[in-house]
Amino acid sequence: MPAIRLGAVAYLNARPLVHGLDRRTDLFTLQFDPPSRCASLLHESAIDVGMIPSIEFHRGSSPYLIVGGMGIISEGPVASVALFSAKPVDELRTIAVDTSSRTSTGLLRVLCRERFSIAPEFVPMPPAFGPMLDQCDGALVIGDPALYLDHRAAGLNKIDLGDEWTAMTGLPFVWAFWAGRPGVLSGTALRALATARDAGVADSDAIADAYCGSERSELCRGYLRDNIKYVLDDRAAEGLRRYYELAARHGVIESPRPLAFY
């Protein structure tokens, strides 16, 4: 049987989910890309299974199946998805949005309407703080750049989107999960993904040290331990359904698809 083509997110928060999978060449090939690119590759059938931003579940030409029990999830502050600005949130008229993730942009649209009561213009831009804030009142940045920025030293406010979501709904937020078309994952492959997740969570300190280096080791260890969860349980699934409901309400997607799992 040909190896299953996996496409994973290139950020730190995805590393525990792929721990050791590079050694499972009997089952998988593995590549890393930004979240939006990972989703595009799955939509194009250039990979078999992708670690896709959760909003992309609604954007394939045919329904996907989700690998049950695992994902990239937060409950409360996520630390790595945030709106940065020198102005109060109610004064924001334009927001530059990181083109790397459509889920975060969709969530920000929901929060602007449901929580902040603002209707800013969203301007898609590459994730570079200087140009984003030169051209817009605020900047939505995700992943490692958002995690590493010392916003206080930069004189910026940081609004953590995970924290705002949980404060508004009382639920976790599901940022990404493994998804693919029916029939591409065997029971053996599903067990291998679960084993990788469990080993990665157990070894998260070493993963953080290897990825971030000694200067950021404490920050990254705490991030993987305290901000990111990797079990997509019933409450996380409830948060996912709630996000899809609000995304449909505000035109991010047309209508929610029922969750379907391998």
14 and 32 assigned to the same domain? yes
Q: Write out pLDDT tens, residues 228-237.
A: 999 999 999 9
Q: Which pLDDT value is given to residue 35?
A: 87
Q: Which pLDDT value is given to residue 79?
A: 97
Domain boundary among 128, 152, 169: 169
pLDDT beyond 80 at 49? yes
For residue 41, being part of any structural domain is answered with yes
86 and 154 assigned to the same domain? yes
The answer for residues whose C-beta is within 8 angstroms of residue 94's C-beta and 6 or more apart is 120, 121, 122, 123, 135, 136, 137, 138
For residue 33, being part of any structural domain is answered with yes
Q: Write out pLDDT tens, residues 212-222.
A: 999 999 999 99
Domain boundary among 169, 188, 210: 169
163 and 179 assigned to the same domain? no
How many other C-beta atoms can be found within 10 angstroms of the C-beta atom of residue 194? 15
For residue 261, being part of any structural domain is answered with no
Domain hosting 94: range is: 81-169
For residue 145, being part of any structural domain is answered with yes
117 and 182 assigned to the same domain? no
Q: Which pLDDT value is given to residue 65?
A: 96
CATH number of the domain bearing residue 230: 3.40.190.10
pLDDT beyond 90 at 127? no
Whether the CB-CB separation of 177 and 64 falls below 8 Å is answered with: no
- In this structure, of 16-30, 57-71, 152-166, the range with the lowest mean pLDDT score is 57-71
120 and 186 assigned to the same domain? no
Q: Which pLDDT value is given to residue 121?
A: 97
Burial tier of 62 (Cβ tally within 10 Å: 0-12, 13-18, 19+): exposed
86 and 163 assigned to the same domain? yes
Domain boundary among 122, 137, 169: 169
Report residue 241's pLDDT band, with 50, 70 and 90 as the boundaries: very high
Average pLDDT in the chain? 95
* Helix 102-111 × helix 234-249 angle, to 10°: 70
pLDDT beyond 80 at 61? no
Query: How distant is the alpha carbon of residue 121 from its chain centre?
Result: 22
Q: Which pLDDT value is given to residue 62?
A: 72
Structurally, the chain folds into a number of domains equal to 2
115 and 152 assigned to the same domain? yes
| CA–CA dist 42, 261 (Å, integer) | 16
For residue 222, being part of any structural domain is answered with yes
Report residue 129's pLDDT band, with 50, 70 and 90 as the boundaries: confident
35 and 57 assigned to the same domain? yes
Average pLDDT (113-128) is: 94
What residue has token string 């996907």? Answer: 64
